[in-house]
Amino acid sequence: MRLTAAELRSRGNQVWYPQFPAPDTPNPADWQDLLRQEANMMDEVPGPKIAIAHSLGTINWLYGALADLYQKPFDRVLLVAPPDPQMTSQAEGIQGEPMDLANPGIASQARKWAGELTAIAGDNDKWLPRGVDIWKAPLGIEPLVFPGAGHFSLDDGWGPWPGLVQWIESGDIQDLLKR
């Protein structure tokens, strides 16, 4: 995602790419505070407000939606490789309670804060062993599945992603499929 942020900046786009504190031992309260600050700064500039969240960032964005953390809704939100809460609850160093997929408010709150909501995942993501369909009902959407994408990391072969840049500029979900 860092490479995409750099590409978008080189094209003259305003891009926030927050570096969340203590990524190896994330604390949800600290991450939520940074997310609120970043979202508020985005509200200060004209143009579409787009969030791209990866892995634990997807959970962070959803917790923000559940807590009405944002001042203004996002035009578009892309949740990339949302992890299985069972996996995050078992992972060493991740603090806080795991996301409860049975929470009936997830879909309505996500829709409240995202004009368009999209989730994408690989069919072989080690952080999503039960598959992305576990997010289908909680989010009320049909996630896109990318064969062989893994966790959308550099280790999985995801470097520059022209389709993501195109999606940001066009809003056409089909652009995401272009590598």
Residue 160 confidence (pLDDT): 84
Looking at the predicted structure, is the pLDDT value of residue 1 above 80?
Answer: no
Domains and CATH numbers, the chain: 2-170 (3.40.50.1820)
pLDDT digits (tens, 9 = 90+) for 88-111: 888 777 777 788 999 999 999 999
> Does pTM top 0.75 for this prediction?
yes
pLDDT digits (tens, 9 = 90+) for 4-53: 878 888 887 777 777 888 877 877 778 888 899 999 999 998 888 999 99
Rounded to the nearest 10 degrees, how much is the dihedral formed by the CA atoms of 29, 39, 156, 88?
A: 20
Residue 17 confidence (pLDDT): 76
pLDDT digits (tens, 9 = 90+) for 132-172: 999 999 999 999 999 999 999 889 988 888 899 999 989 99
Residue 30 confidence (pLDDT): 83
End-to-end CA distance of the chain: 13
Q: Angle 159-162-165 (CA atoms, 0-180°, nearest 5)?
A: 110
Distance CA 56, CA 82 (A): 7
Structure tokens at 100: 């409860």
